[in-house]
Structures are given as C-alpha cells and as structure tokens.
Amino acid sequence: MRPNIDQQRQQLMRDGYVILREMIRPDELETLRVSVDAIVEKAKVSSGRVTMTDWVDKQTGNVGALLFGHRLANFSRQLMNVPDAAPLGMWVLCSSGTGWHRDIHPIDMAPLDGLQEDVESNGPPYVQWNIALYDDNYLHVIPESHLRRNNNAERKVERRFGVVPLPGAISVDLKAGDGVVYINAILHSATLNGDNKRRTFHLGYQAFGGRGFTHFFFPATMGIHFVEHLKSWATERCHYFEKLHTKRHNDVAFILRAILEKDKLAFENGLNWIHRSEHARMTTLVVLSKIAYLIRKYKDSEAEDHANDPCIQSVADRFTASELEQLWRRFVVLDSKLQSDNEQYEPLFQSGPMKYFFYEMPVDFGVKNFIASWDE
C-alpha cells in the first residue's frame, strides 16, 4: 500500500528522497520505450543525455503527455506543498557514471546553510526526478545529507573519485516504471551502467506560490518551441508553465527596480510577495543578489556561458547598463559579507575554489541591515 501524500512529504523532508513505484503504468512502458528510442535515434546520441523537448514530434507525443501531464506536476506540487509547479529540464539519461556531489553551486546560489534553513522552514522550492523505463539501480544517495554540511569522511572525497564507499550511502533500486524524487542538495552519485541499456527520464519541478522563493535563477525555461507537436491540452499546459515563469521574472524585475530606486515600501512589498514566510528571508535576498550579479555581468554580453540565456536577458532588458551598475552598488555590502578574503573550497559542490563561502550565511545582517546599506 502506497503511503499517503503527508507521509511521503515527511519522508522527503527527513530523508531527502522518496521512491514511487509504478509512476509509469505497466501498460505504458513499451510504447514509451519505443518513442524514447526514436527520439534518441533522431538525436544521434548513444550515451549521456538527450533533451526531450528538442526532438519530440507527433509520433512521440506520448512522451509529452507523461512529462507535461498532471500526474508528475500534481505529485510534485503536493510534495512541495505549493499551489503550482512547473517542469524544468526534460532529459532522458542514456548512460550513467558520476561521483559524489550536491547539485549546488555557490557562485550563483546562497550558501548551503541558508538553503537548508529555507528548506527546513518553508519546504523545498524544487525537486528532481529520475523515472526509469528499464530497471535502474545506478543512482546512489546518502539519506538526510540534504539538511547538513559535509562530514569528515565526505570532505576527503572528490567528485572525480567516482562512487567510492561513504558511510550511510544506499543504492536507489528502481524497477521499470518506478520513479525517485529528491531534493537537489542531497549527496548523490551514479555508477556506470556498462552494457546495460538505460533510458531514464530526468527532470525537475520548480515551486510557485509557496512560502519561500526559488534557490536558483534558471537561465532558461522549458520553452514552447515544440508545442506544435503536442495535443491541445498539453500545449495549454506548456503555455501555462511559461506564464508562471514570466510572472516570476516580472516580480524579480519589480523588486530589483525598487532596490535601485531605494523604494523601501515597494521593496518590502515585493519581498513579502515572493517570500511569504517570516523565516529564511535572507536566503531569498542572497538569491536576488545573485540575479543582480548575473544580469549586470551578462547584459548584451557575447560570453558563451550566459549570453543567450533568455531568462537572464529578459530581466536584464528591463534595465540600462548604467542602472545595473547602480543596482549592483546596492548589493555591494551584502556581497562582501558572503565572501572571505581568501579563496574557499569544499569538495562535492559544483564549484572550484572561490572567495564565496560554501556554507556560512552573513552574521548579524538581516533585511533591515540590507536596506540601511543602500546609503553606505
């Protein structure tokens, strides 16, 4: 008997992951396998991952029906306990093999302590899925690691070492059709699949309308460039997902404009809107500082890493280059409190050495201090 949603939510918060049996029904498996193989063949990729939305067509529309349907979206929304959720990143994994890591990169996210405080207080703003079309036991996780720092054993390990034994690590054993949903801060890795065929959906769902805010400003949404190949209901769903993202971009631009203009009331109203909880508000403020950094750095830039990222350019286009320089000055004090004088390094993050702290949030510096710093 499957646990109810409250029990599954408790397990997600406690362990950092939940296994769901038969997320894909047995009678759906074979047709989905055929469609996914057709997509992989069209993409001419035999290993790594394939972006499903780049290759889906009318003949493989059943993939879209699963990925954009209510089954995954509603379950993700209920797990995160939020009014809405939209998918991000639609891949099929054709091979596996990576060492231990957290999907956390402090250069454009808050320090881990702040992210974990927000998850504990307000629930996760994002969950990731693996859904297997064939038996898949390659993913390994360390339960409960999503709410703590690396321990001494983990600090001796680098991602490049592969799936080395670590205390408490377990294999996530998925049968065909099963799914695992997890919080991206959990320590996880994946063994090599060897000659075994792997076709596993990998995607995320971002929360909207919850108690907290996103932990990472995604450079691109799923888009709607492929919807002509979908059924009408799936097309409507994809347009709705885009509206959620557009509303978030508008909210962010409004708040950043208020900061630029030193409009304290508008800023406080905007912050209250995107982060309704009283807890972990500094985490969201740090995320806003990272967004300000990105749009300032990459506005009209030809740099390959973010120059064409539509979400970054969409927000950056609301400001002139001069305004972005002024805006960044509002964040200088906060940004300085997120850094050390010397380079920091912590293994198992998606980052090399840098001056930004991997764990520590600013001490004795809150939202009121941030407002006061505008005049410094």
Q: What is the pLDDT of residues 129-173, one digit of tens each?
A: 999 999 999 999 999 999 999 999 999 999 999 999 999 999 999
Distance of alpha carbon 75 from the chain centroid: 17
HEC readout, 254-308: HHHHHHHCCCHHHHHHHHHHHCCCCCCHHHHHHHHHHHHHHHHHHCCCCCCCCCC
Per-residue DSSP letters for 152-179?
TTGGG--GGG-S---TT-EE--B-TT-E
CA angle 67, 70, 73 (to 5 degrees): 70
Look at residue 303 in the predicted model and tell me its pLDDT. Answer: 66
Look at residue 309 in the predicted model and tell me its pLDDT. Answer: 82
Digit-coded pLDDT (tens) for 171-184:
999 999 999 999 99
Band of the pLDDT at 308, cuts 50, 70, 90?
low
Q: Which two tokens stand for residue 247?
A: 């509303």
Q: The pTM is what? A: 0.95
CA atoms within a 13 Å half-sphere pointing along the CA-CB vector of 27: 0
Band of the pLDDT at 46, cuts 50, 70, 90?
confident
pLDDT at 251 over 60: yes
Distance of alpha carbon 213 from the chain centroid: 12
pLDDT at 305 over 80: no
